[in-house]
């Protein structure tokens, strides 16, 4: 379909260069680029609009470079295509980052269009899940298209069929598995197939759910496609028909961390702890994915806290930190609500705050630890409705998952199924009755909870 070579342009957005100016003036770069910066995306990168792009292991997000590709035909440069120039997020700009930018399917191209009028002022809009997340204009180009073509012709020839992607904006949005991405350039579009979404995640990740079926409490696994559950008996049922339960092993203990992120400690006015602040929770506080959490009467300061949950997979007693993760069997997501009105100085743990019925949503599933590349490198977000109120990363934990397993195993024997809620990053925002709260941790999942006001 695309017989030529795709040449892509970097650092051609004025706003991006301004944002990176201090970095590009430091070693190893020492100065922003003067000549055009180009790299090649081979034929394996090029896929048509409507394709489903696989995110390569071990990555879970891609940067969406909305752009336009100018294509040479036998009559000259008279054709343009909307383009999605994909890359794995990276921080270094030293040499072309082929491993991050030239993977299979990493250049999605829309249908060819005649060169439009007023092309140099065209606006490019990016949508993810039908929501506009980014806009930029070709007036921001450091080198307009004609000037860029002239610069390139000084040292190389573009042949019929060749493509030139003219640049991507700074602060490009990120997309994850299952996201539907659409790029529109003054009326013509490039987008994935409506059935599959532009990205898919690796199929081997195992997700285990606890549910009620035929009147019994049992476990099942999500099958490929994500819309059905397979029970241990081999029977399958639609996910939307399942009555989910919190994914905890009956009898397991629940440990939770306070102030395990330095930014959250600072936000609350506390000094970061020099040893883990651990308390226990009861199963009465748990509710499942899509469950309801009730805000008590008279309360106005109830806020969600997104937390990574580590689940013990094999007995741990006085284990070393180096081998601690071998004792973790899986991970899930928790939303550990706190009610600030009930906090009383240092009298902790205050179970009125942290162990109320229904105020610890958890789930939707347990994902095998082997499917999580690094528990200390996971992005975390919390949304109330369409508003992002928490955005952090597990690399900012004061005490890592491995350290916590070691610390706890030196006090008590950890048994399979025991859970460790590992703390939350900064971001205090209060909920009201009727709110939908979404806590998401990459590689793990998205936990949805609904808040209702107690009558």
User: Which pair of tokens denotes residue 308?
Assistant: 């990574």
Of 142-156, 166-180, 244-258, minimum mean pLDDT range: 166-180
Burial of 249 (0-12, 13-18, 19+ CB in 10 A): middle
Distance between CA atoms of residues 132 and 126, nearest Å:
6
Q: What is the pLDDT of residue 345?
A: 56
Q: Looking up tokens 């906090």, which residue turns up?
A: 343
Distance between CA atoms of residues 355 and 343, nearest Å:
13
Question: What is the assigned CATH class of domain 6-200?
Answer: alpha beta
Q: What is the pLDDT of residue 325?
A: 93
Q: What is the pLDDT of residue 371?
A: 86
Q: What is the pLDDT of residue 121?
A: 85
Q: Is the pLDDT of residue 200 over 60?
A: no
Q: What is the pLDDT of residue 141?
A: 92
Prediction pTM value? 0.62
Q: What is the pLDDT of residue 203?
A: 41
User: Which pair of tokens denotes residue 16?
Assistant: 């991006």
Distance between CA atoms of residues 424 and 257, nearest Å:
9
**Adjacent-strand bridge partners of 266:** none
Of 118-132, 295-309, 384-398, minimum mean pLDDT range: 118-132
Q: Is the pLDDT of residue 347 over 50?
A: no
Average model confidence (pLDDT) for the chain? Answer: 86
Q: What is the pLDDT of residue 208?
A: 93
Q: What is the pLDDT of residue 355?
A: 87
Architecture of domain 246-453: Alpha-Beta Complex (3.90)
Q: What is the pLDDT of residue 22?
A: 85
Q: What is the pLDDT of residue 414?
A: 95
Of 229-233, 422-426, 437-441, minimum mean pLDDT range: 229-233
Query: Which residues have CB under 8 Å from 79's CB, separation 6+?
Result: 70, 71, 72, 73, 112, 113, 114, 115
User: Which pair of tokens denotes residue 212?
Assistant: 């009620």
Residue 451: pLDDT band by 50, 70, 90 thresholds?
Answer: very high
Q: Is the pLDDT of residue 179 over 70?
A: yes
- Please give the share of the chain, as a percent, with pLDDT higher than 70: 90
Over residues 365-385, the mean pLDDT reads: 92
Q: Is the pLDDT of residue 64 over 50?
A: yes
Q: Looking up tokens 């009730």, which residue turns up?
A: 294
- pLDDT tens per residue, range 10-37: 889 888 888 888 888 888 778 888 888 8
Range with the largest mean pLDDT of 69-83, 118-132, 275-289: 275-289
Higher pLDDT, 286 or 111: 286
Half-sphere exposure of 152 (CA within 13 A, CB side): 21
Distance between CA atoms of residues 51 and 185, nearest Å:
19
Q: Is the pLDDT of residue 193 over 60?
A: no
- pLDDT tens per residue, range 202-255: 444 689 999 999 889 999 999 877 889 999 888 899 998 899 999 999 889 999
Q: Is the pLDDT of residue 332 over 90?
A: yes
User: Which pair of tokens denotes residue 330?
Assistant: 């899986």
Parallel, antiparallel or unpaired: strands 216-222 and 207-213? antiparallel
Q: Is the peptide bond before 58 cis (omega within 30 degrees of 0)?
A: yes
């Amino acid at each position: 379909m695309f017989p030529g070579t795709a040449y892509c342009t970097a650092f051609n957005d004025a706003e991006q260069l301004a944002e990176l100016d201090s970095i590009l003036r430091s070693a190893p770069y020492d100065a922003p680029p003067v000549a055009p910066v180009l790299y090649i995306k081979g034929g394996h990168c090029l896929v048509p609009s409507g394709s489903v792009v696989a995110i390569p292991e071990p990555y879970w997000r891609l940067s969406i470079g909305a752009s336009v590709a100018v294509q040479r035909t036998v009559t000259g440069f008279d054709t343009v295509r909307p383009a999605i120039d994909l890359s794995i997020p990276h921080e270094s700009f030293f040499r072309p980052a082929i491993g991050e930018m030239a993977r299979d399917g990493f250049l999605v191209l829309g249908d060819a269009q005649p060169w439009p009028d007023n092309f140099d002022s065209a606006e490019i809009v990016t949508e993810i899940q039908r929501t506009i997340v980014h806009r930029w204009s070709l007036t921001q180009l450091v080198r307009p298209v004609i000037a860029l073509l002239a610069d390139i012709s000084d040292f190389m020839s573009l042949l019929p069929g060749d493509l030139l992607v003219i640049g991507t904006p700074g602060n490009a949005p990120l997309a994850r598995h299952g996201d539907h991405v659409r790029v529109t350039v003054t009326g013509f579009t490039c987008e994935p197939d409506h059935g599959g979404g532009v990205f898919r995640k690796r199929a081997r990740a195992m997700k285990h759910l606890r549910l009620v079926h035929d009147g019994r409490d049992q476990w099942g696994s999500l099958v490929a496609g994500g819309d059905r559950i397979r029970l241990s008996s081999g029977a399958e049922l639609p996910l939307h028909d399942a009555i989910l339960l919190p994914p905890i092993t009956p009898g397991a203990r629940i440990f939770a961390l306070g102030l395990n992120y330095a930014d959250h400690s600072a936000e609350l006015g506390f000094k970061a702890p020099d040893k883990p602040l651990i308390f226990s929770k009861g199963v009465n506080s748990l509710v499942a994915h899509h469950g309801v959490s009730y805000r008590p009467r008279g309360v106005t300061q109830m806020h969600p806290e997104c937390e990574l949950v580590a689940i013990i997979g094999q007995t741990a007693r006085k284990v070393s930190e180096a081998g601690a993760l071998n004792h973790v069997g899986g991970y899930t997501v928790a939303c550990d609500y706190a009610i600030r009105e009930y906090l009383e100085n240092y009298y902790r743990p205050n179970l009125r705050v942290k162990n109320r019925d229904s105020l610890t949503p958890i789930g939707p599933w347990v994902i095998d630890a082997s499917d999580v590349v690094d528990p200390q490198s996971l992005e975390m977000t919390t949304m109330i409705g369409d508003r992002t109120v928490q955005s952090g990363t597990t690399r900012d934990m004061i005490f890592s998952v491995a350290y916590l397993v070691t610390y706890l195993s030196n006090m008590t024997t950890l048994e399979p199924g025991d859970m460790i809620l590992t703390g939350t990053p900064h971001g205090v925002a209060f909920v009201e009755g009727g709110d939908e709260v979404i806590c998401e941790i990459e590689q793990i999942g998205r936990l949805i909870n609904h808040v209702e006001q107690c009558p």
